[in-house]
Every structure is written in C-alpha cells, then in structure tokens.
A = this chain, B = another copy of it.
C-alpha cells in the first residue's frame, strides 16, 4: 500500500557524549521515510534548499523513496543544531535556522493524491489540515505535533486532530495537550479530540498504545550504547506506519506488532549518528530484533 509523509528535511549538527556530527542529513520526513522504506514504498513531501545536492537526493532514491514531492526552493535547507547530555532523553536545541522551511507550503503531487496511509509530521497544524483535506482517500492518517503548536496554535491543532485516526506523540506533550499528568487519563482526553489510536512515545522507556479500549506497553530496547537519539521518534513512526501500510491490517493485534516494529527501527536509529544505522540495515536484522523484543517482554502465565 502507498505511504505518504509530509514533514521536514534538515541538515543537523549534533553533539552527544559519544561524539559530534556536522551537516548530516536529518529532519522528521527523512527519518520517517528511510525507516518506513524497509516496509513499503514511501512518498515524501518536503522542501529543501539549493544546498541539497545530488548525493543527498541519492540517499532517498537508494531506499526507493519517491521524491516527486521533494520541492527545491531558493535559499538554504532547514538547519538544526542540538546536543544531548546526561541520560540523553532530552535534546537541548542550540540553534534553529528555518530557511526554506519557513515558508513551506506542502504541495501534493497528483500521483500522491490516492495515498492510503499518511503521516503528517510535526509542522504547523494549519498546513497539516491543508494536506489532510487534499487526501480524501486516506484510510489511515497519523499525526505528530509538539509543545510549540500545543501552546501557540491549539485551536488549529484540534481542528486537524478531529480529522485523523492516529496521534503519535511524546508523553510530555500528551500531558500538555490533555491537561492530565496521568497517562491513562491523558489518553482518554486525547481520544475525545478525534484520534482513536494513540501512541505515546516515552524515549528510553518505550511506547504505549491506546486503541480499541485496551492498552499495550512496549519497553525501550536495552542497548549497550545510545550514540545519538536524534530522529528516534520519527523513526518509530516510520516503522509503525510502515508495518501497517505493508499489512493493511488495523486490528488491535497488528497495531501492537506495529508498535514493536516502530520500537525496533528506533532502537537501530539511536545506535549511530544520523541515518547511518538505518541505511545499513538488512531485513533479517529487523526481523531478529523483533524476536528479541518478544524475548525481552515474554512471560508465561
């Protein structure tokens, strides 16, 4: 099935206790599409600047990602600079240069309009709604957002939330959006806003799924070394939506598997800086780690 992502493409400068990387390809749409490309063909809608060259484009093409919707605009590509310290659960943003992303107006190519699975990455909710309205054939639309929009554009965010089936969000932002510090209450309040499937990302602590009146909890994968958490959330979303688009199965049992595939992909992403590990994956490695998650969580009753 067809999977479409709308979001940011960026060049990142990242510093963690394990090192530093400069001008590496990043952004929500990038991490999402590379992760999802291990499951289904992906279509990307994003904007890049004149400094985005053939080598960068080749990263997408090598993963079979359709870049028809990757618009090139005059100016420089979006840049983000951040660092992680201590337990690396939170990034400290040192610098953001929106550049061409500042005036991003997502244009959906005609060939994308029949997309059935859609991920609206973390951008202005006004733009998210604009994209949503152009995709009437979507069977499953998922959305990510952040504190910036929850604080600054709550009414617009609520408008687009009422039109989507899935919200994938951090636990802190789920609490902020709902006004509840208890996760179960937060989930109830958010589901009243529209999305009946709620995935709450909890960083190294894993992810929780609220859907079909049940709760599913997946732990974080215990890694020896976490080198760079950048993009972990979007990579998770890529694995989650990729598995759903591949199988076309929205049953509760399959949503649970999708959460595990999201966790699998995120666990690989953080092992190296940038996209490194995600690009060098193999299908058996993904499948092996899926089974390792089973061993990690299984107990006999």
Q: Which residues of A contact B (CB under 8 A)?
A: 86-87, 181-185, 202, 205-206, 208, 214-220, 222-226, 253, 256-257, 259-260, 290-291, 294-301
Known: A185-B224, A256-B299, A300-B257. A217 touches B219 (CB 8 A): yes
Which B residues touch A218, using CB under 8 A?
219, 297, 299
* B299 near A224: Cβ-Cβ < 8 Å: no
From residue A243, how far is it (CB to closest CB) to chain B in Å?
12
* A296 near B224: Cβ-Cβ < 8 Å: no
The contact of A295 among B214, B219, B297, by CB within 8 Å, is B214
* A86 near B181: Cβ-Cβ < 8 Å: yes
Known: A253-B300, A297-B217, A299-B260. A222 touches B184 (CB 8 A): yes
Q: Which of A183, A202, A225 has the most CB of B within 10 A?
A: A183
Which B residues touch A219, using CB under 8 A?
206, 208, 217-219
How many copies, total?
Answer: 2
Which B residues touch A217, using CB under 8 A?
206, 219-220, 222, 296-297
- Give A222 to B210 CA distance when docked, in angstroms: 11
Known: A205-B205, A217-B222. A291 touches B301 (CB 8 A): yes
* A182 near B260: Cβ-Cβ < 8 Å: no
- Give A182 to B256 CA distance when docked, in angstroms: 27
Chain B residue at minimum C-beta to C-beta distance from A210? B222
- Give A296 to B211 CA distance when docked, in angstroms: 12
- Give A294 to B301 CA distance when docked, in angstroms: 8
Chain B residue at minimum C-beta to C-beta distance from A205? B205
- Give A206 to B214 CA distance when docked, in angstroms: 18
Chain B residue at minimum C-beta to C-beta distance from A207? B219
Which B residues touch A214, using CB under 8 A?
295
From residue A189, how far is it (CB to closest CB) to chain B in Å?
12
- Give A183 to B9 CA distance when docked, in angstroms: 32
Q: List 16 A-B contacts (CB under 8 A).
A: A87-B181, A182-B223, A182-B224, A182-B225, A184-B222, A202-B205, A215-B296, A216-B297, A217-B222, A217-B296, A218-B219, A218-B297, A253-B299, A256-B298, A257-B299, A260-B299
Chain B residue at minimum C-beta to C-beta distance from A295? B214
New A-B pairs, 15, CB < 8 Å, besides A184-B222, A184-B224: A87-B181, A182-B225, A183-B222, A205-B205, A206-B217, A214-B295, A215-B222, A215-B296, A217-B222, A218-B297, A218-B299, A253-B300, A290-B301, A291-B301, A297-B299
Chain B residue at minimum C-beta to C-beta distance from A253? B300
Which B residues touch A222, using CB under 8 A?
183-184, 208, 215, 217
Q: Which of A206, A217, A260, A291 has the most CB of B within 10 A?
A: A217
Chain B residue at minimum C-beta to C-beta distance from A206? B219
Chain B residue at minimum C-beta to C-beta distance from A294? B301
- Give A301 to B292 CA distance when docked, in angstroms: 11
Which B residues touch A205, using CB under 8 A?
202, 205-206
